[in-house]
Structure 1
Amino acid sequence: MSAIPDLRGPPPAPPPPLPLRAVLGDEGFRIFFPLAALFAALWPLWWVWIWAFDLPSGQVPPAVWHAHEMIFGAWGAALIGFLTTAAPEWTDTPRLQHRPLWRLAGVWAIARLPGLTGWDALAPVILADLVWLAGLAAYLARISWQRRSDRLLAFLAWLLALGLAAGAAKAAMLTAHPEPAAQALRVSGFLYLGLLGLALARITVPVTNLVLDPTEATSPFRPHPGRLNLAPGLVALAVAGEGLGLSPAVLGFLWIAAGAAFLDRVAEAFIGPEALRAEVLALAGSAALAGAGLLAFGAARLGAPWAEAAPLHLAFMGGLGLGVLAVLCIAGRLHCGRPLGLPGRSRAGLGLVVLASLLRALPEMGLMPWPPGPAHGLAALAWAAGFGLWLADAWPDLRDPRTLGARRC
């Protein structure tokens, strides 16, 4: 008896593997979250261990470059990744992919060259930051108009204000006026805190509900609506007071009020035993450190015995830094189809960022002894390790084509 021939033919060949560029270009977070983590980790090391010896010889002091690069380099990349990922999700519009994202990344990277080298001839390149800020604002405006939606207008307003502050800072740097540049960069940092307040209001609720009910069948956590925009609103009021030149005492009380509004957000973490989950603690800790930093900054305006730089680092390193890393951890996992529940290295990274912020701010405020080694050296190492541990955890998923389109938060 003869065998029946197999008429089906050979099995189809598997599809060719996607190149890394195509995988990373699928969504904003895959490009910009790693860029933010790398730059946030490496820039302080570069500044503390290299620029501490005053190697760059230019008209802009290293401290101004340091603030500029953290605000528009590290936090800028995180902002691009967050908004290009969250905005289409909130408005149910197609997300940016591939070429537009890589163009944004290229413009962002070009703007980093002067800060890394300290070379005055490259200083005009920092104007490239204004290009990606304008492009991001135009993107939010376009999809808001297309969808007739007001969900992004608050972010758009803060982004436009950030663009104005960025322009003032860069103009002062290019004309060798370090003090006005430092003031404009400080305002830029405050504007990022306002954006942080908006982001926390929109992230904390769904994350807390997902922690309380992983099936997503119910929404047991519903915060008081008065908390939604209180912190960014009071930050906006204090920034306006800075622009109007109010007295130090009045500004001190305004910043204390803004800090208290951030601390008020911590109450949202009181959800029972689940409050000990790393995701909940990280979001609450970000609000707590931002609030504590602003309270101490306001106290300095009222005569507290410490300089303003230390509490600003507590707010910008602790509040913004922990908030950014929490978003990287949570959004990165969910968008790659992973459940909540952070791996050990990511949890350790969150703890190291908190430690680094305290090591940077508290000794300068006289609240703890200085650690051994170069000034801020140990803080820079702990900070770099914190972001590096997250990247080590997340990179296999970010580059894996099997996680494409796995889930949108």
Structure 2
Amino acid sequence: MPAIVTRILGEGFRVFFLSAGLYGLFVGLVWGLWLAVPYMAPDYGMTPPMWHAHEMIFGYATAALGGFFLTAVPNWTGAPEARARFITLAAALWLAGRMAMWFSGMLPPVFVAVVDLAFVPVLAAKILTQLIRRPKPQNLIFLLLLSLIWAADLLTHLEWMGITADTLQTGLRAGLLSLCAMIAILGGRITPAFTRNAMKRDGVPEADWPVSVAALDKAGMILALILPLGALLFGAGPVAGAGALALGAVQILRMSRWRTRWAARQPILLALHLGLGMLALGLILWGFSVLGIGNEVAALHVLGIGCVGGTTLAVMSRAALGHSGRALIAPAPMVVAYGLMAVAALSRWIGAELNAGYMVAMLLSDGLWVCAFALYLIAMWPALTGPRAGRAG
């Protein structure tokens, strides 16, 4: 087996962050082609927009989660890292799910569902074996969120299989909100922590470091868990809208103490702050839209592109650099990618919210997404596929 293949399959962050980047680029290219030339869309077992939404939430994002958890959990618990054999199996299951979705128009819906739903339980089982070495509640909640993501995906397939009549939209919303909950909790830990570490290295006085308020963190965690669960069980309604507004407000209060202005001098830090800021903005926009003020689709894309897309790019690039022994300094193409993702989110929101130049805004947003992932792959290719650098990560 070529050394590069062995290297990629030997560490979870390599194969899954590479897969996420390639798939994010692929889905963006396919979606842009369909927008420009609708009659070229293949015959799926679903409409092209639903395939696009599903694959962004349950395809791209789950690859990013796989790379993160297989890398972070051993650091949290001291458990051995997953072996290459497991990583290869997990990657194969994820890829099989993507292939099943792509050829869903030619395959039995039950088969598509079984294949697509296989990856997350295997990932969760592996994480469980590592977390039980040090079973801290604040880490075990991620298994709950992975379960919510799996249940949300199941709802989409139940409608495609003809078992239910109206669970597709609920599943897509709940899946996206579960990802946002994951980011609210994880981002609420790592963003101030990484900023604090950077300020400490630069000799900034401790009094100026980011502050995490326990009451706000607890409120954010509880609301983050309740929101996707409520959306899964009850759909989008006034209660969900109020919950989103509350979580958005809590997120703003948390970020007000994270020293974002100082982080702006380091793009690899600023990208995390920007993704969490998009989370707060998207939640508030979605909460108002559910209550009848604003466009729900526009708000969901702020969450999907700005929060999920932006935060995953920030985390994947930072982890790839650090765990490959490289300096935690974003290469120039990566810095541009961070900015393009934020602009893509705002462009998509403006087009849908104002209904002015809607198709142009959609194509622009998609083009910016594609460019961001192309730059990510260019910038991170050495870290994801090459040998470790000589310095410590």
Of 330, 337, 344 in structure 2, the residue corresponding to residue 356 of structure 1 is 344
Of 12, 18, 28 in structure 2, the residue corresponding to residue 44 of structure 1 is 28
* 1:250 to 2:239 alignment: yes
Of 298, 314, 339 in structure 2, the residue corresponding to residue 326 of structure 1 is 314
* 1:23 to 2:11 alignment: no
Change in Cα spacing, 1:163 to 1:248, as seen in structure 2 (3 Å) is closer
Structure 1, gaps ≥5 residues long = 1-16
Residue number in structure 1 paired with 2:323: 335
| Cα deviation, residue 271, structure 1 | 5.7
Change in Cα spacing, 1:131 to 1:116, as seen in structure 2 (3 Å) is closer
Residue number in structure 1 paired with 2:188: 201
* Counterpart AA for 2:345: S
| Cα deviation, residue 225, structure 1 | 2.2
Change in Cα spacing, 1:391 to 1:282, as seen in structure 2 (3 Å) is same
Query: Whose Rg is larger?
Result: 1
* Counterpart AA for 1:170: H
* 1:236 to 2:222 alignment: no
Residue number in structure 1 paired with 2:60: 74
Task: Please give the alpha-carbon distance, in whole angstroms, between the structure 1 residues aligned to 2:203 and 2:102.
Answer: 45
Change in Cα spacing, 1:58 to 1:383, as seen in structure 2 (3 Å) is closer
* Counterpart AA for 2:46: V
- The structure carrying a bigger helix percent of its residues is 2
Residue number in structure 2 paired with 1:285: 274
Q: Aligned with 1:228: secondary structure?
A: helix
* 1:34 to 2:18 alignment: yes
* 1:108 to 2:94 alignment: yes
Task: Please give the alpha-carbon distance, in whole angstroms, between the structure 1 residues aligned to 2:22 and 2:297.
Answer: 24
Q: Aligned with 2:10: secondary structure?
A: coil
Change in Cα spacing, 1:207 to 1:246, as seen in structure 2 (3 Å) is closer
Task: Please give the alpha-carbon distance, in whole angstroms, between the structure 1 residues aligned to 2:216 and 2:10.
Answer: 34
1:249-270 CA deviation, whole Å, 9 max, x = no partner?
3332222112222323332432
Q: Aligned with 2:126: secondary structure?
A: helix
More moved, 176-185 vs 86-95: 176-185
Change in Cα spacing, 1:18 to 1:116, as seen in structure 2 (3 Å) is closer
After superposition, where does 1:250-399 map in structure 2 within 5 Å? Answer: 250-270=239-259, 273-304=262-293, 306-366=294-354, 369-370=356-357, 373=360, 376-399=362-385
Q: Is the 8 A contact 2:351 2:362 kept in 1?
A: no
Task: Please give the alpha-carbon distance, in whole angstroms, between the structure 2 residues aligned to 1:271 and 1:289.
Answer: 13
Q: Aligned with 1:154: secondary structure?
A: helix
Q: Is the 8 A contact 1:28 1:84 kept in 2?
A: yes
More moved, 188-197 vs 20-29: 20-29
Task: Please give the alpha-carbon distance, in whole angstroms, between the structure 1 residues aligned to 2:115 and 2:250.
Answer: 34
* Counterpart AA for 2:349: A
Structure 2, gaps ≥5 residues long = none
Q: CA RMSD in A?
A: 2.7
Q: Aligned with 2:376: secondary structure?
A: helix
Task: Please give the alpha-carbon distance, in whole angstroms, between the structure 1 residues aligned to 2:168 and 2:233.
Answer: 17
Of 193, 210, 213 in structure 1, the residue corresponding to residue 200 of structure 2 is 213
Change in Cα spacing, 1:24 to 1:182, as seen in structure 2 (3 Å) is same
More moved, 104-113 vs 295-304: 295-304
Return the TM-score normalized by structure 1. 0.86
Task: Please give the alpha-carbon distance, in whole angstroms, between the structure 1 residues aligned to 2:219 and 2:42.
Answer: 42
More moved, 19-28 vs 142-151: 142-151
Task: Please give the alpha-carbon distance, in whole angstroms, between the structure 2 residues aligned to 1:390 and 1:227.
Answer: 33
Q: Aligned with 1:377: secondary structure?
A: helix
* Counterpart AA for 2:11: E
1:43-73 CA deviation, whole Å, 9 max, x = no partner?
0220231366153234422221111111111
* 1:121 to 2:95 alignment: no
Q: Aligned with 2:82: secondary structure?
A: coil
| Cα deviation, residue 42, structure 1 | 1.9
Q: Aligned with 1:334: secondary structure?
A: helix
Q: Is the 8 A contact 1:252 1:299 kept in 2?
A: yes
Q: Aligned with 2:180: secondary structure?
A: helix
Change in Cα spacing, 1:56 to 1:237, as seen in structure 2 (3 Å) is same
| Cα deviation, residue 126, structure 1 | 4.0
Length, aligned pairs only: 388
* Counterpart AA for 1:389: L
Q: Is the 8 A contact 1:91 1:149 kept in 2?
A: no
Change in Cα spacing, 1:167 to 1:343, as seen in structure 2 (3 Å) is same
Residue number in structure 2 paired with 1:8: none
Q: Is the 8 A contact 1:64 1:178 kept in 2?
A: no
Residue number in structure 2 paired with 1:89: 75
Q: Is the 8 A contact 1:314 1:358 kept in 2?
A: yes
Task: Please give the alpha-carbon distance, in whole angstroms, between the structure 1 residues aligned to 2:267 and 2:81.
Answer: 29
Identity, % of aligned pairs?
Answer: 27
1:198-241 CA deviation, whole Å, 9 max, x = no partner?
22023213311232123899975442223334334213323344
